[in-house]
Structure 1
Amino acid sequence: MDRSLTRLAVALVVGAMAPLFDSTIVSVALHSLAHDLHAPVATIQWVSTAYLLAAGVTVPVVGWLQRRVGGKRLWMSALVVFLVGSVLCSLAWSAGALIAARVVQGVGAGAMLPLLTTLLMQAAGGKNLGRLMGVVSLPTALGPILGPVVGGLILGAASWRWLFWVNVPFAVAGLVLAALLVPADGPTSRPRLDVVGLLLLSPAVVALLLGLSGASEGGGFARAAVWGPLAAGLVLLTGFVLWALRRRGAALVDLRLLRHRPLAASATLLFLTGASLYGVMLLLPLSFQELRGTDALGAGLLLVPQGVGALVSRTLAGRLNDRLGPRPVALAGFAVLGLATLPFAFAGPGTGVWWLVLLLLVRGVGLGAVTIPLMAVGFVGLARDEVPHASIITRITMQVGGAVGVAVLAVVLQDALATLPPVEAFQHSFAWAAGLTAVSVLLALLLPGRPRPVAPAAAEAQLEEVGA
């Protein structure tokens, strides 16, 4: 990558570290929050749920906002919103105040995460996408792994309020770097907001996430609080698809881009990758605590090798993606991921801890190898004005996929615990997780293979189209 692109990537990734760590760092503090704020756990769960839903509402409108106000201004505004929300969270005096502040945080995070990808993809001009995604994926890979560990360390030494003060240095540094290193840009057009599309898509995403988040409670998908929002979300989503196809380029999100095979394959596989990543991240700490007797911090520390594996493999995966194409890299990554997940379907309390650490390290290598080509391939061959739509599509599919993975594996585990001993119940659930990865291996065959050499005249025409 050239120096200007590297500087842009550093500025954006530093700012993005705050929301990506924050989304997982709070998960270990729910019981402490319930005790200190004198609220039931069912109420405190909304500290996480409200954040997730607020981000889901915001993501679909990011492309329109970027065209209206410009990328740099939107990025810095979203970072300020997230910073204000973090300070408000740390000062919360009740559960209701904390939940409201988390909504503010979620709005800022929902704008930042797809915009991070959009700004970098537009600046790259279609070149070295694999290496670039290696940089972008750093906070994405480490957030779910290190967030609970950092949260546990903070809770062991200080008040839960410091969980939110940790965001402040990242946000301030991100603002300074963005002001200095992100190129100034103005509005690219003055498009009208697709109000009907917004009223269909944002509530659809919220309803789906809300329904899926409740599936982990007793009763699973049979509860009206689960299937009701899911049904409403599917109806709204169907309505949006029909509306967007009629509106074509004027739609809130241009779904015609899914005719582009690389983007369609990327979105599908990111859905399954999100399900595998977040679903297994539900099972792993629970199994460590229930079967091995570790505390929350100990379970979080056991997950560190997975983050290390993802960190180690992401740079190599980016280079191989640019040289060999996404198909072989993704196939190898999914194979490694599946092979490293399957042994957990046979593990128990007597399994050696170093064997588990090795498996998690290898599993992290697979996750890093998978994420890079899937995130990069969706943008291959797209024009500059199509990139924001692709960013929104990939962000929503991975977010909903993660919620589906957590919901499905939670229900599988609940049903297994009702009829099987705990060890066998967790083994059964990990077998399901390995099955999700096996499906991904087959679908990875749809990804493009080795990139074809581009003639000089054609390459010049492509660059002119991307830079237009």
Structure 2
Amino acid sequence: MLTRTPTVPRPVRNPVRVALVLVIGMIMATLDGTIVNVAINRLSAEFGAGLGTIQWVATGYALALGAVVPASAWLVGRVGAKRLYLMAITAFALGSVLAGLAWNVESLIAFRLLQGASGGLLMPVAMTILLRAAGPERLGQLMSTLGLAILVGPLLGPVIGGYLIDEVSWRWMFLINLPLGALVLVLASRVVPDDAPEPPKSLDVVGLLLMSPGLALVIYGVTAAGESAGFGSPAVLVPLLAGAGLIAAFVLRSLSTPVPLLDLRVLGNRTTGISATLLALFATGYFGSMLLLPLYFQVVRGESALLAGALAIPFALASGTTMQVAGRLIDRIPPGRYLPVSIAVALTGFVLFVVQLDADAPYWALGLTMLLMGAGGGGTMMPVITTATRPLSREQQPAGSTVLNMISTTAMAIGTAVSSVTLGALLPVTGGLQALHGLDPAQRAEFAPALAEAFQRTYVIAPVMIALALIPALLLPRRLADT
């Protein structure tokens, strides 16, 4: 029986075209990661769901996004990069259509999980395709092109989502992915170079079955604790303890099995371990706060979804722009000197934002602080990942990147859940967010100061977590020779 010997793909003649097509596909995923934040208020009213429930539309997506990343390399070898990319785009478009047709909040959350699972494959598979298509002399330029998705998605997502929610229907913020997905399928099938599957490698199925349910149970327990105002009930303790047990078992397996789902042993490197701790703390505060901003503008200030999305543009613009520069700076400045400064910028912005957050804060002042918040975030995320992977050997770097991606997406999910639960507990009305939808403008104006205070107190979580991230940042190498 003849077996196919895998061939090493050669660089293509025009890798820029490949990169641009991949960017369009990744923009779909980043759009859906941000577009929902501006819709939380409308979805709560549409389905009569509290904040603790409706936040799973965002949290579930983030969890699924990260859960599939560890299996992406195995799937690429099993299916082939191009075929897997086309399958992921198809599944993402299908999940989007189903989400747009959702009939209750449970079905919407389920279809968002499908979206997240397929969207989580797009970034690692796109990077694999680009690595194979580009020669080493053009890799840096093309990787920067992929970074456009990180800039464009958060910039346009809230605005497009706000327009569709106000002028068309919330369903179209998902259905819009159908024509986008069809476009990407046509372009990718023509432009992305063909490749052959490789001999199958082992997949740690047990690790996969321990990790994802464990994280979901922990976050469910935190959400249930917020809704019941305590950790003493079995409905809270059982999922928390079960989730913690599954995660502990996953960690033990990762440290003992020869081919783990996530090779946590890379965290044994001092710089990598410190950077991972920094990333977890910073991402929990930074990404966890993103759910709050459009809600503040809609719930406290009474703005439309479109205007709430537009008011967040300074945040996204500063983050995406700074991200393009920060990658170069971290190659020239030691992380122990650079990262404390970028974190301090973010911390300053968040503190100033929290201090002035009330029912009448001028939008221009909030916008200026959002510039600092976004610049600090964009200047921190990619450099800390670069710092974490730089000291690893060539063989360890793929595992290191996967671990860091998991930490980032998990922190995003946990931060979102904690922020939503905290805000739900602090809202000054019986019935939480869904009760506010029945208030007339006069009643809403009466509640505005108390609502603003609830948002202000919830926002404190972000600067606290970011301030804690300064501690590991100060322990990073302060000379380039030591990185």
| Closer/same/farther in 2, CA of residues 138 and 438 from structure 1, 3 Å limit | farther
Where in structure 2 are the equivalents of 1:360-371 lying within 5 Å? Answer: 360-371=370-381
Distance 1:255 1:179 in 2: 36
Q: Which residue of structure 2 lines up, in the alignment, with residue 274 of structure 1?
A: 283
SS of the equivalent of 1:351 reads: coil
- Superposition deviation, residue 214 in structure 1: 4.6
Q: 1:439 aligns with which of 462, 465, 468?
A: 468
1:320 aligns with 2:320: no
Q: Which residue of structure 2 lines up, in the alignment, with residue 261 of structure 1?
A: 270
Distance 1:382 1:6 in 2: 29
| Closer/same/farther in 2, CA of residues 35 and 354 from structure 1, 3 Å limit | closer
CA-to-aligned-CA distance 1:157-205 (integer Å, 9 cap, x gap):
2133321232234323433444445444434442222232222222223
Q: Which residue of structure 1 lines up, in the alignment, with residue 73 of structure 2?
A: 63
Q: 2:387 aligns with which of 377, 382, 406?
A: 377
- In terms of mean alpha carbon deviation, does 39-48 or 369-378 score higher? 39-48
Q: Which residue of structure 2 lines up, in the alignment, with residue 341 of structure 1?
A: 350
Q: Which residue of structure 1 lines up, in the alignment, with residue 162 of structure 2?
A: 152
Where in structure 2 are the equivalents of 1:214-229 lying within 5 Å? Answer: 214=224, 217=227, 219=229, 224-229=234-239
| Closer/same/farther in 2, CA of residues 25 and 424 from structure 1, 3 Å limit | closer
Aligned residue identity for 1:110: G
Distance 1:54 1:312 in 2: 28
Aligned residue identity for 1:241: V
SS of the equivalent of 2:414 reads: helix
Structure 2: where are the runs of 5+ without partners?
1-11, 430-448
- In terms of mean alpha carbon deviation, does 339-348 or 21-30 score higher? 21-30
SS of the equivalent of 2:202 reads: coil
CA-to-aligned-CA distance 1:209-249 (integer Å, 9 cap, x gap):
4334555545265565444323222211111111121113x
Q: Which residue of structure 2 lines up, in the alignment, with residue 308 of structure 1?
A: 317
SS of the equivalent of 2:389 reads: coil
| Closer/same/farther in 2, CA of residues 401 and 117 from structure 1, 3 Å limit | farther
1:245 aligns with 2:249: no
Q: 2:244 aligns with which of 234, 240, 265?
A: 234
Distance 2:395 2:219 in 1: 28
1:430 aligns with 2:459: yes
CA-to-aligned-CA distance 1:416-443 (integer Å, 9 cap, x gap):
6679954544444334422221111221
Give the alignment's TM-score, normalised by structure 1: 0.82
Distance 1:168 1:89 in 2: 11
Structure 1: where are the runs of 5+ without partners?
455-468
Q: Contact 1:273/1:398 (CA < 8 Å) preserved in 2?
A: no
| Closer/same/farther in 2, CA of residues 181 and 244 from structure 1, 3 Å limit | same
Aligned residue identity for 1:430: Y
Q: Contact 1:241/1:255 (CA < 8 Å) preserved in 2?
A: yes
- Superposition deviation, residue 82 in structure 1: 0.9
Distance 1:69 1:401 in 2: 30
| Closer/same/farther in 2, CA of residues 380 and 76 from structure 1, 3 Å limit | farther
- What percentage of aligned pairs have identical amino acids? 40
Distance 2:425 2:456 in 1: 13
- Superposition deviation, residue 33 in structure 1: 5.3
SS of the equivalent of 2:253 reads: helix
Distance 1:121 1:255 in 2: 24
Q: Contact 1:309/1:368 (CA < 8 Å) preserved in 2?
A: yes
CA-to-aligned-CA distance 1:335-389 (integer Å, 9 cap, x gap):
1101111112321234322111111122211111112202323332545654443
Q: Which residue of structure 1 lines up, in the alignment, with residue 49 of structure 2?
A: 41
| Closer/same/farther in 2, CA of residues 288 and 78 from structure 1, 3 Å limit | same
Distance 2:409 2:403 in 1: 10
Aligned residue identity for 2:468: V
- Superposition deviation, residue 44 in structure 1: 6.1
Aligned residue identity for 1:77: M
Q: Which residue of structure 1 lines up, in the alignment, with residue 94 of structure 2?
A: 84
SS of the equivalent of 2:257 reads: helix
Distance 1:186 1:84 in 2: 25
Distance 2:481 2:191 in 1: 33
- In terms of mean alpha carbon deviation, does 77-86 or 132-141 score higher? 132-141
SS of the equivalent of 1:186 reads: coil
Distance 2:111 2:425 in 1: 35
Distance 2:298 2:341 in 1: 31
Q: 1:405 aligns with which of 415, 420, 435?
A: 415
- Superposition deviation, residue 18 in structure 1: 0.8
| Closer/same/farther in 2, CA of residues 88 and 409 from structure 1, 3 Å limit | closer
Higher helix share: 1
Distance 2:327 2:13 in 1: 18
- Superposition deviation, residue 208 in structure 1: 3.1
- In terms of mean alpha carbon deviation, does 323-332 or 433-442 score higher? 323-332
| Closer/same/farther in 2, CA of residues 326 and 207 from structure 1, 3 Å limit | same
Q: Which residue of structure 2 lines up, in the alignment, with residue 351 of structure 1?
A: 361
SS of the equivalent of 2:332 reads: helix
CA-to-aligned-CA distance 1:385-430 (integer Å, 9 cap, x gap):
5444333312221122123323444455456667995454444433
Root-mean-square deviation (Å): 3.7
Aligned residue identity for 2:184: G
Aligned residue identity for 2:116: G
Q: 1:203 aligns with which of 195, 213, 217?
A: 213
